[in-house]
Amino acid sequence: MFRTKNSTVVNLALTGLMGALVYVATMFFKVEIPVGADRTMIGFANVFCVLSGLILGPFYGGLAAGLGSFLFDLTGGWFSSAGVTLITKGLMAVICGLIAWSGKKEQASVSRLITAAVSGSLAYCVMYLGYSFFKLVVAGSAPEAAAIAMLTKAGATFTNAIVADVIAVPLFLTIRAALQRNHLWKGGRPGTAV
């Protein structure tokens, strides 16, 4: 988190900014894939969900990722899954933030950042695929048919996870380096700045 005289205000502003980036990435940088009567997508939203956890930590990062994704679902035609998305995307950033921000006061190592990103992304994959399977079975699909439909969803979901981790960690390192050069990064944990 950023520590200034008005750190709560700054952190809420950054949460809003990251939430907006999650929303915009989900809205405009995606390819929808039909899966029977359902659909899934490949896009860049998870990049900003992971980045939210890395930059803002578990609380503010989870809030940004969850709310940005939730608002997209409300406005982007995915209304029925908005509540689940709020929780699953939020938890992705929370898990990422918890791991990245663990430790005492030392700056997070690259290996810890990668572990954080991969853990958050994999947790999201499990939650999303589990929810999608359950939703298909409740809608009347035979478990075997639902499992087959899940192959397409799994391909898109794991592609999103890989893209998110490959982009978010180097992007975070670049942002952190820029902040350090400008004396805006205090050192310490991922989002600890002056």
Taking only the tens place, the pLDDT of each residue in 115-146 is 999 999 999 999 999 998 888 888 888 888 88
The reported pLDDT for the residue numbered 194 is: 39
Residues 106 and 188 sit within 8 Å (Cβ to Cβ): yes
pLDDT < 70 stretches in the chain? 1-6, 30, 32-41, 104-106, 184-194
Q: H-type helices in the chain, by residue range?
A: 7-28, 45-75, 82-100, 110-138, 143-181
Per-residue pLDDT at 146: 81
d(CA 81, CA 86): 9
Distance between CA atoms of 138 and 151, rounded to whole angstroms? 18
Is residue 105 within 8 Å of 188, Cβ to Cβ? Answer: yes
Q: What is the pTM of this model?
A: 0.86
Check: CB of residue 61 under 8 Å from CB of residue 39. no
Helix axes 110-138, 82-100, angle to 10 degrees: 160
pLDDT of residue 37: 56
CB of 1 closer than 8 Å to CB of 124: no
Asked whether the CA dihedral 55, 111, 158, 62 is positive or negative, the reply is: negative
Ordered domains of the chain (ranges, CATH): 7-181 (1.10.1760.20)
Say whether 18 sits in a helix, a strand or coil.
Answer: helix
Q: Residue 3 has what pLDDT?
A: 46
